[in-house]
Amino acid sequence: MPLKSDKYYIITEASKKLIEENNGTIVDVNFITSNLSKFKIISVGDYTTEVLKKSNIIPWIEVVDLKTKRGEKTYSSIPGSIILENPPGVITGSLIKEIKKAMEQSAHTRIEINGEEDLAVLPILFYADENTVVVYGVPDVGMAYIRPSKDSKKLVKKIIEKMDVRQK
pLDDT digits over 114-143, tens only?
999 999 999 999 999 999 999 999 888 889
Q: Average model confidence (pLDDT) for the chain?
A: 93
Q: Which residues contact 64 (CB under 8 A, 6 or more apart)?
A: 43, 44, 45, 46, 49, 75, 110, 111, 112, 113, 117
Give the length of the chain: 168
Its pTM stands at 0.93
pLDDT at 1: 55
Q: What is the share, in percent, of the chain residues with pLDDT greater than 90? A: 82
- For residue 115, the SS3 value is strand
Alpha helices in the chain (DSSP H): 13-21, 29-35, 46-54, 93-103, 121-127, 150-161
* 71 confidence band (pLDDT: 50, 70, 90): low
DSSP-derived letter for residue 39 is S
